[in-house]
Structure formats: C-alpha cells, structure tokens
Structure 1
Amino acid sequence: MKKATIQDVAKRSGVSITTVSRVINKNYPVKESTRIKVEKAIEYLNFKPNLLAKGLIQNYTKTIGILTPSIENLFFSEVIKGIDSVIRPLGYTTFLCHTEGCDKSEIEMLNSLIDRQVDGIIMIDPRKENILSGKLEKISSTTPLVLINGYSDGIKCNYVINDAVSGVNEALNYLFNNNCRDIALLRGGKSYSYDIKEVVYNNFISDKNLNKRVLKIDDGNDLNAVNSSKQLVLEALKSNNKPRAILCCNDWMAIGALNAAKDAGVPVPDKLRIIGFDNTIISQISSPALSTVDQQMTKLGQLAAQRIYRIMSNEDNENQKIYLETKLVLRES
C-alpha cells in the first residue's frame, strides 16, 4: 500500500503544501476552517509526517543513540531503562546499538548514529582502546556525548561513573572483618570495569598480606558467564587450596559461583561466602539470596540522560565527571 504524502494531503484538503506544512508544524497562523480541513485530510489518509526531514530543517531529530556492550547482562538493561525513563517523556526516541564489547563495532555504530544525525549519544562501558585513541574526545567536540563508566583519567569527555573502587573495598573489608583470609576475585575478560576491580583487589590483598587468587572467564556479560563461572569455581573448590570467599565482578558470575558451591556440597555462607556486583533482580531471587554491591543502575542511566539533555539543550557544555555511590547489600550468601 502506498504511503500518503504531504502532496496527497494538500490535494484532498484543497490547499497548498505550504499550508499543510504550517498546520503540521504549528509555526504560522492558519484559518480555523482551513486547519480543520487539513486535519481531517491527515486523519483520512493516515498521513504520518517525516519526522527526520522535519528535524533536519529545524536542526534536531529528537533521537538519542545508546551503545551497550551487552543486552543479556541485566546491569546494562537496567541502565537503559533509567535512560529511557528520562528521555522518552521529553519526546525523544532511542536507537539501541549492541556492540558485543567489540572496539571496531563500537566505532562503526558510533559513525552510523552520527550519519543518522542523532541529537546525542550515550555509551555504556565504552572500550578503553577507543577512549585512549582520542576518537571519543574528537566525537564529543561536535556531537553531545556522555560516557557511562569506562577509563576516564585525563579524558576530556562527559562521564557518569559508578564508584566501583569504594564498592570493592567495602565488600573486601566486610569479608576480611568476618574472618575470611583466602579471598578470590572472579572476573571476566576484556573490560575496564573488571580491570579496575582487580586493581583494587590486588591493592587490598597486598595491604593485608594475603594470598592473591584471580579466577578469570572469557566473557562476563553473556549468559555463558554463569556456566563458565560455575566450572572455574568448581575446580577451585576441588583443589587443596579452597577459597573461603569469592568476590564476583557481576551477579551473573556470582550465580555461577553459587551453583558451583551447591554441586560441590559446600554450604554458603558457612564454608564459602559469595558477593556479587550490581544488585540485579537475580541477586534477590537466587537461593540463597545473593549479597552484592548495589550500583544504582537505574539512577546511573537517569543521571546520564539528564546530562545529555543539558548538553543538547546548550544549558551546560563543560565536561563533567559525575560519580554515583555504591553500597554493599547483605543477604544470605
């Protein structure tokens, strides 16, 4: 079926294309009787204005691009939910791009969003390589850009950042103060968020003169992370040097560790304490319920959305780093 055009509306209502445009955009006065005729023609023809063309004329498209390395890890979906809760009521539509944590895909999707003339872009956990290359700084000089987490030292971009350092320290101190000395860190592969957690862990272990033990799976952001974590933790629990506690870099990995403990017959938390990171819904419905570090994911997304809107509105163009506190949530593990 052929889509109705503005020419069709003009013909049916017996007015010029310019008059139809004025009725649609409400930018010039039009006689009431003429406006009613045009609106009836629009309704009859089910005419939908070309919002992109309209936006290009007015120098905006009312669209926001969001780049995420994962759609399976509930951390990212909660952040996106927070972004949408702010952006949608303001009349914006979002384009969601899934990069799968690939630096090349990230740049390709960034360029595609820019070609589509989005009004702004929010990147969640951007690749460190693209940050250090200067590519994101260059983009931010011409396109409103907000980064959620990621490497930020000396980088001239707008950031909203979880205070992961204090979150890791709080979790480790809790374990240490509860007589845990053999503490392992369970992390995923290539990700700055995992890197920074390991740096904090290494510093803590060194300060307390404890033995370091880092367990590493390939990818911590997909569903395979649960099984990969389970297998790795099972091996550790069957060894002669069993950990007394495991700090996991996200809740998916922590669920895998819980499953491993069940299979190995190791009671949690009596013989093994497990702490996750994120406070996603799975931490509340697992058995036992998972202790975890709350990263306030929805609020993280909301702060990023509020920041990008201020930049797009030219209310505040200075680069800022906004930090969001984390909090250890103690449950049953």
Structure 2
Amino acid sequence: MANIFDVAKLAGVSKTTVSRVINNQEPIRLSTRERIVKAMKTLDYSPNYFAKGMRTNKTRTIGIVVPDIANSFYTEMLRGIEDITGSENFMNILCSTNESADRELWYLENLSNRSIDGLIMCTWSKEQENLNYLEKLGQRIPIVFMDYIMKSDPVSYVITDGFNSSRFTTNYLIGIGKKRIAYIRSSSRFSAGYERFLGYKTALMDNNVIMDESIVFEGEYHKNTGYEGAEYFMALSHAPDVIMAASDIMAVGAIQYLKEHGIRIPEDVSVIGYDNMELCTLLDPALSTISQPIRRLGKTAADILIKCISDSTYPKQQIVLENELIIRNSLDPILKGEKIIPIPGNWTMERRN
C-alpha cells in the first residue's frame, strides 16, 4: 500500500508539499499540484484521515443535525453547507432526528464519540437535557446554530428574522385590503415557527385587529397539516380571504384542498407560504411566499464553523440574513411573473429570549 513518501518520490517533491496539497493549503503552483494529484491516482493513494486525526487532534469531519431531511428546506441548506465543506476537504456526517428529542440526544452523544471537529445544529428540541448537553459540547468543539439560539453563553448562529418577516407580510396583506387572514402554524415546540406566528399576531395588534383563534390551525411541518387546515377554514361560516402558512409545504397542502373542492385561488381565497422552495413556481397558481436565502444560510454557517475549527480564537458570529416577500399569482391573479419586496431588518436579541 502506497504512502505519502511514495507519492512525494513519484511526483519529485517533498513530503511537506504533498501534505499541503492534501490539506488544500496555499500557495502551491498549479503544475505542481497537478503532478501530485496524478501521482496519487497512479499509486491509488488515499490520505488516512483517522491516523492524521490521532496526530493532529483534527479529523476534518463536521456533524450536521437536522430535524427532518425529507423537508426540502434542509436539503437545500445542506447543498450550501457542502459548497463550503467540499471545497475545504471536510467530510460531513448528516443526522436526521425525525423530530425526536431522544434521537437528537443519541446523535449528539455519538457524534461527540466520533471526534468531530465541529457541529452545525438545526435543533427544534427544547428539552433541557438536550440543551444542557449542547452547552457542554460547545465547550469542547465549535457549534454553529441555525434557527435557534442558546440563551446561556454567547454562541455562533446564522438565522433569518421570522418574526419580522411574518409581521411585515401580514401588514402588507392588511394594507392591500385583506380582512380575514387565517394562519397555519407549526407546533409550539419549533422555536422558528413560533417566531413566525408571533409576527403574525403582532401585525394584527399593529392594526387594531382582534385575533380570532378560530382561524388559526396548528400542526407539523407537513403537507397534510396544510390540507387539513384549509379544510377546517373553509368549513367555517365566515371563511378567510387569505391563508398564510408557516412553510411552503403546508401551503402546498392548502392549495391541494382548495383545488380539489373547486375553490378559486386567489379569487375566492389567497394563499401564501414561507421559504420559497423550488416547487413554488411549479404550482398553478404559482405560490406567493416569504423567501429565505436557504442555500446562503448553509454556506454562511459552514464558513463560520470552519474558521472556528481552524482558529480557536476566532470570535463568535451572530449573523441575521434578510428575507424577501415574493408576490405571485396565488395572491395576485393578473401579475405576470413575480414581484419581489425586500423585508427590512428589525431583529433584536431581546425578543428571541
């Protein structure tokens, strides 16, 4: 079996130069890099990262924990993470908890035992045992949170402002004459979903509108929740003229119910989602939505994490990316294409705590 010395000999360079190419360190001449890569292929040489990790205390491995990989939000976010980790020669270990607090804790313990260099955490669990474990783990390795912020010591996080985005959008709907705005919300255990619902409630108060609990429907981030929510709303004696959903997947379910029952969108009831997944423009009518820069969320989180891994003195980063309101035909029947409205930032740490 070939080793790094064999590669160096064949390529006519030093072991150090081969090591710099393996670790993607600059500067290396392109011709030299190509010669080393060719030698590695000729000798069928692969770096032994486990052995290297024993020597350097670094495994170039990152853990990623998400609630549900079947949710296309996390699929798109993962693409962004891999844009960065792949270019930096880091391996990813992806763990999908299926929205189970017990499974989340099990994954965290196992990732810790596998000596990962850092963690990107998309937690929804509010179980104190899990939060305590994360706090202890964060003392050993860098962690970047997404859509959740630990309330103890300062942490690195990358988020968007769900509260302000929902508040802005609800105010916009009221401003264009919508009177009865129904809301399909996520379970209260999802912190990001609760922020979106709180923004909706606050916008109603902004406009002296008394909140009607009968036009709020709660469930999981699934299409069935949207379908059942629309069914419930349309059975009311006073049906809504807009259905807002806490995610695009929920909105898809609502649209499915409305179309199956001959309810015109948006002439009878408008629909608006949250996330701006690719499927939004494939629907008929195209789905209006609050657009999150999902791939950029993943790229930013991975970039921060790798910098923290490479430099233990790198300061904690708190990044808030701005969203956009995208108007399409599910809200405006005569609009050609789409209208993009920037949502101004108005984020405060105090509100999340």
Aligned to 2:93: 95
Aligned to 2:285: 288
**2:303 counterpart of 1:301:** no
Contact 2:158–2:301 (8 Å) recurs in 1: yes
Root-mean-square deviation (Å): 2.9
- For residues 23 and 245 of structure 1, what CA distance do their matches in structure 2 show? 63
Distance 1:154 1:328, change over 3 A: farther
Amino acid in the other structure paired with 1:166: N
Amino acid in the other structure paired with 2:218: K
2:217 corresponds to which of 215, 218, 222: 215
Distance 1:155 1:162, change over 3 A: farther
Contact 1:158–1:320 (8 Å) recurs in 2: yes
SS at match of 2:170: helix
> Deviations along 1:3-61, whole A, 9 cap, x unmatched?
x586xx99x99x9xxxxx9897589xxxxxxxxxxx99987874544321212212211
Amino acid in the other structure paired with 2:169: A
Distance 1:130 1:56, change over 3 A: farther
Deviation at residue 242 of structure 1 after TM alignment: 0.6
Contact 1:69–1:101 (8 Å) recurs in 2: yes
Deviation at residue 152 of structure 1 after TM alignment: 4.4
Distance 1:176 1:57, change over 3 A: same
TM-score, structure 2 length as denominator? 0.78
Contact 1:125–1:193 (8 Å) recurs in 2: no
- For residues 143 and 73 of structure 2, what CA distance do their matches in structure 1 show? 20
Deviation at residue 148 of structure 1 after TM alignment: 0.6
Contact 1:168–1:201 (8 Å) recurs in 2: yes
SS at match of 1:134: helix
Distance 1:155 1:163, change over 3 A: farther
Contact 1:163–1:323 (8 Å) recurs in 2: yes
**2:274 counterpart of 1:277:** yes
Amino acid in the other structure paired with 1:75: F
1:232 corresponds to which of 229, 233, 249: 229
Contact 1:66–1:94 (8 Å) recurs in 2: yes
Deviation at residue 66 of structure 1 after TM alignment: 0.6
- For residues 17 and 150 of structure 2, what CA distance do their matches in structure 1 show? 47
Amino acid in the other structure paired with 2:299: Q
Structure 2 spans left out of the alignment, 5+ residues = 10-14, 22-36, 331-353
Alignment length, in residue pairs?
306
TM-score, structure 1 length as denominator? 0.83
> Deviations along 1:82-135, whole A, 9 cap, x unmatched?
111011101111111111122221121112112111111101244233598433
Aligned to 2:154: 156
1:117-156 to 2 correspondence within 5 Å? 117-130=115-128, 133-156=131-154
Q: Based on CA coordinates, which of the two structures has the bigger radius of gyration?
A: 1
**2:239 counterpart of 1:242:** yes
Aligned to 2:199: 200
- For residues 115 and 169 of structure 1, what CA distance do their matches in structure 2 show? 42
Deviation at residue 307 of structure 1 after TM alignment: 0.8
Aligned to 1:331: 328
Aligned to 2:257: 260
Contact 2:163–2:197 (8 Å) recurs in 1: no
Deviation at residue 151 of structure 1 after TM alignment: 4.1
- For residues 62 and 294 of structure 2, what CA distance do their matches in structure 1 show? 19
- For residues 117 and 78 of structure 1, what CA distance do their matches in structure 2 show? 26
Q: Once the two structures are aligned, what percentage of the paired residues are identical?
A: 28
